[in-house]
């Protein structure tokens, strides 16, 4: 099965900073990658699908890029409401697999 | 608005069974693949199973294959997860989530609030 590795596992940044999270697949998954945000105590929410398509209603400071095995989620200007754990998920075929998560905090 | 509401969680002894339900409203249930995803306390997300719009295709994670059964009743707008031979490591919040598409396994665009299953003696 394909493994999804996220890095870093956690980060702390200041409001307004540019934040980048990386997700690496153990095999080529083309662009079949989604990103989710899970705020503390809340349900996961879809941010991005097909590696770079923003889900409706998601702020434009979020963006995704990459294809093949290496992907990134970027927050262009970190806001207090972005404190959350972020997960990537591959869907080229079952089993669907999530990355281990990246916890983002405000410095 | 789209709503998915899970129920049926609780405390159960190892080796016993439990059935979760997910009642759906706000969209045409019979037109979408639906997933179960779980999250152990303080841990990450783990996909458990999914079922296509008409129930003809079902897929499972290796960790639950042979023990869990996913099913749906489109006349009742309800998804189910029959969990047998439960293990301590099955302890988690179980979410139902709608896939973006009717068939195939892709990504989840709407999630329920989850129901907690605790497996403990």
Task: Categorize the per-residue pLDDT at B104 as very low, low, confident or very high, splitting at 50, 70 and 90.
Answer: confident
Q: Is residue A15 packed enough to be buried (19+ CB in 10 Å), middle (13-18) or exposed (0-12)? A: exposed
Instruction: Name the one residue in this structure whose structure tokens are 């290496």.
Output: A70
Asked if B12 and B86 count as a contact pair (C-beta separation under 8 A), the reply is yes
Computed over every residue of chain B, the mean pLDDT equals: 97
Residue in B closest to A46 by C-alpha: B109
pLDDT digits (tens, 9 = 90+) for B17-30: 999 999 999 999 99
What is the DSSP pairing of strand A102-106 with strand A84-90? antiparallel
Mark the ranges of chain A whose per-residue pLDDT is less than 70.
none
pLDDT at residue B102 in the model: 77
pLDDT digits (tens, 9 = 90+) for B59-95: 999 999 999 999 999 999 999 999 999 999 999 999 9
pLDDT at residue B101 in the model: 85
Pairwise CB contact (< 8 Å): B47 & A101:
no
Q: Which of B47, B106, B113 shows the shortest C-beta gap to A98?
A: B47
Q: Which of A96, A100, A103 to mutate to test the interface with B (most CBs of B within 10 A)?
A: A96
pLDDT at residue A62 in the model: 98
What DSSP character marks residue B100?
S
pLDDT at residue B103 in the model: 77
Asked if B100 and B109 count as a contact pair (C-beta separation under 8 A), the reply is yes
Distance, in Å, from the CA atom of A13 to the CA atom of A105, rounded to the nearest integer, reads 6
Distance, in Å, from the CA atom of A36 to the CA atom of B108, rounded to the nearest integer, reads 9
Report the 3 state secondary structure along chain A. Answer: CCCEEEECCEEEECCCCCEEEEEEECCCCCCCEEEEEECCCCCCEEEEECCCEECCCCCCCEEEEEECCEEEEEECCCCHHHCEEEEEEECCCCCCEECCCEEEEEC
Beta strand residue intervals within chain B, DSSP E = 3-7, 10-12, 18-25, 34-39, 45-51, 58-60, 68-73, 78-83, 92-99, 108-111, 115-119
pLDDT digits (tens, 9 = 90+) for B36-67: 999 999 999 999 999 999 999 999 999 999 99
Asked if A69 and B34 count as a contact pair (C-beta separation under 8 A), the reply is no
Computed over every residue of chain A, the mean pLDDT equals: 97
């Amino acid at each position: 099965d394909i493994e999804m590795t996220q890095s870093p596992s956690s980060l702390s940044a200041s409001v307004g900073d540019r934040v980048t999270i990386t997700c690496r697949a153990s095999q080529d998954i083309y662009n079949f990658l989604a990103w989710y945000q899970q705020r503390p105590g809340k349900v996961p929410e879809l941010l991005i699908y097909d590696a770079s398509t923003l889900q409706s209603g998601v702020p434009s400071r979020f963006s995704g890029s990459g294809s093949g095995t290496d992907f990134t989620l970027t927050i262009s200007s970190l806001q207090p409401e972005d404190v959350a754990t972020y997960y990537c998920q591959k869907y080229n075929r079952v089993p669907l697999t999530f990355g281990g998560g990246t916890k983002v905090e405000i410095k | 608005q789209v709503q998915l509401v899970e129920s049926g969680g609780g405390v159960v002894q190892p080796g016993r069974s439990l059935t979760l339900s997910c009642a759906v409203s706000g969209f045409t249930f019979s037109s979408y693949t639906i997933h179960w995803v779980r999250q152990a306390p303080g841990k990450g997300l783990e996909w458990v199973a999914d079922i296509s719009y008409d129930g003809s295709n079902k897929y499972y994670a290796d960790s639950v294959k042979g023990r869990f059964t996913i099913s749906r009743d489109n006349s009742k707008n309800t998804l189910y997860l029959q969990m047998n031979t439960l293990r301590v490591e099955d302890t988690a919040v179980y979410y139902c989530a709608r896939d973006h598409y009717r068939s195939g396994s892709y990504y989840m665009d709407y999630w329920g609030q989850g129901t907690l299953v605790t497996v403990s003696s």
